[in-house]
Amino acid sequence: MYHKEKSIQLKSSASALYNNLSVLRIGPRSLTHFTVVHANVVNMVSASWDGLNYSHRQLQSKEGNVATSSSLILQAAWCVLPARELLVLTSQKGIQMYESDGSIMVYWHALDSPETPTAAQSGLATCFVLSFSITGVSSGSLLVFDVPSKGSNITLSEMLEEHKEPLTDLGSECSGSQEFIADLVSADDSGLLCVWKSGDDFQLLNKIPGFEVTCSSVKLWKGIVAAGYGTGQIRLYEAITGILHAEINAHARWIYSLDIAPFTGLLLSAAEDSLVRVWHLTLTPETNSVEIEHMYNECVTDTQICGAKFCDGDGYAFAVTGYDLSEIIRYTQA
């Protein structure tokens, strides 16, 4: 179904962090941008559509007015808001937001840590309808930032306190349709999933309990939550009701990344077991049924995969990063 393309070299290798690959594509024939985290540095690569030209940039973690910092970056991802894109970095010390090319820092939010810093994996998501950027932190709080269409007047709008365990990932409704009530799903280290509706005040719609197994990656598409767990399972839930549609024994080890191609319903999963798998989701609204079919396997030999994302909305191409690997491996449909 897919074949391997020429890899993109990185300036440094990928760290073993969940969802350690972010892809941004603005428009069908324009550049594709990738970010991969290496300790306290973000590697940014922009690739031309034909894959022939690249440019690299490295962004070092900056906190407040400290020029460079050795504080580790936990996640770097683009937030696609209606009027702009922001590059958001979470580190042990706080949240940094940059213009999408990483050139200027527009906002810095320090995270208080009264006691010694512990944990702190966190996820990023944007709310589709309104201009919110949401970040989850180790205390379990979700910080909602109001982002203006330009400039740096970003403000903390509210803090959502529902999770008790460190946040691991966030997913916003990616179908592009406004018919779905739920906008956002958040996941934590206990496997708990919270489903939210955005607005000036975010509203909690549903809580889907975990079984003390980390949910490391979560996606929301057409009202369906796709969640990847530390046991290697993927589960599909209906977001509003929490109904379990499907349970897949997908991987032999901890899942690190999930992604959905919104136009085709392809689902990508990647884990420490070196395997990337492609699935297909079929929704039948009349019967409220969800089917999932396995499509394809790709083994990235001797690599613990830490990031896997589709490069386009159809799922025509996907990219993969692995621990200790200094390249982004790409695959396109044959």
Partner 1 sequence: MSSRTLPLLFINLGGEMLYILDQRLRAQNIPADKAKKVMNDIVTTMFNKKFLEELFKPQELYSKKALRTVFDRLAHASIMRLNQASMDKLYDLMTMAFKYQVLLCQRPKDILLVSFNHMDAIKDFVRDTPNILSQVDETYRQLIEMYTLLPAGEFQLIRQTLLIFFQDMHIRVSIFLKDKVQNSNGRFVLPTSGPVPYGTQTPGLIRMFTCNGEEVKRVQFRNGGNYTSALREGSFELFGDRVIKLGTNMYSISRPVETHMSGSLKNSAQHAKVNTAPNPLAKEELNLLAKLMGGMEVQKPGNPESGFRVNLFATDEEEEEALISRPAELSYEVINIQATKDKQANEELVRIMGEFTESEEPTPCSSSKGDDLLTMMDGL
Q: Judge contact between 43 and 328, C-beta under 8 A.
A: no
Residue 280 contacts partner 1 per CB under 8 A: no
Q: Judge contact between 267 and 281, C-beta under 8 A.
A: yes
In angstroms, the CA 209 to CA 58 distance is 39
Looking at the Cβ atoms of 257 and 304, the one nearer to partner 1 is 304
Site for partner 1 in 172-231 (CB under 8 A): 189-190, 212-214, 230-231
Cβ of residue 95: shortest distance to partner 1, in angstroms? Answer: 16
Q: What is the DSSP code string of 180-213?
A: -S--EEEEETT--EEEEE-SSS-EEEEEE---S-
- The site that binds partner 1 (CB under 8 A) totals a number of residues, namely 66
Report the largest interatomic distance among the alpha carbons of the chain, rounded to a whole angstrom.
Answer: 57
| Among 57, 84, 253, 280, interactor with partner 1 by CB under 8 A | 253
Q: What is the DSSP code string of 7-30?
A: PEE-SSPBPS-TT--EEEE-STTS
Q: Identity (one letter) of the amino acid at 40? A: N
Looking at the Cβ atoms of 32 and 35, the one nearer to partner 1 is 35
In angstroms, the CA 120 to CA 94 distance is 10
Residue 76 contacts partner 1 per CB under 8 A: no
Looking at the Cβ atoms of 30 and 68, the one nearer to partner 1 is 68
| Among 175, 233, 257, 321, interactor with partner 1 by CB under 8 A | 233
C-alpha dihedral, 69 to 70 to 72 to 78, nearest 10°? 30
In angstroms, the CA 154 to CA 152 distance is 5
In angstroms, the CA 107 to CA 152 distance is 6
Strands 94-99 and 105-110 turn out to be antiparallel
Stretch that binds partner 1, among 7-15, 49-57, 148-156, 220-228 (CB under 8 A): 7-15
R_g of the chain computed on alpha carbons: 18
Cβ of residue 179: shortest distance to partner 1, in angstroms? Answer: 19
Residue 169 contacts partner 1 per CB under 8 A: no
Residue 70 contacts partner 1 per CB under 8 A: yes
Site map (CB under 8 A) of partner 1, residues 23-42, x = contact: ---------------xxxx-
| Among 4, 6, 164, 294, interactor with partner 1 by CB under 8 A | 294
Cβ of residue 150: shortest distance to partner 1, in angstroms? Answer: 33
Residue 130 contacts partner 1 per CB under 8 A: no
| Among 65, 149, 249, 284, interactor with partner 1 by CB under 8 A | 249
In angstroms, the CA 166 to CA 153 distance is 28
Stretch that binds partner 1, among 24-32, 69-77, 104-112, 171-179 (CB under 8 A): 69-77
Cβ of residue 145: shortest distance to partner 1, in angstroms? Answer: 24
Residue 323 contacts partner 1 per CB under 8 A: yes
Looking at residue 64, the DSSP 8-state letter turns out to be: T
Q: Identity (one letter) of the amino acid at 318? A: F
| Among 119, 129, 240, 283, interactor with partner 1 by CB under 8 A | 119
**Residue 296 token pair:** 């394809």
Interface with partner 1 by CB under 8 A: which residues? 11-13, 15-17, 38-41, 68, 70, 72, 74, 92, 115-121, 165-166, 168, 189-190, 212-214, 230-233, 241, 243-254, 273-275, 288-294, 297, 299, 301-304, 323-324, 326
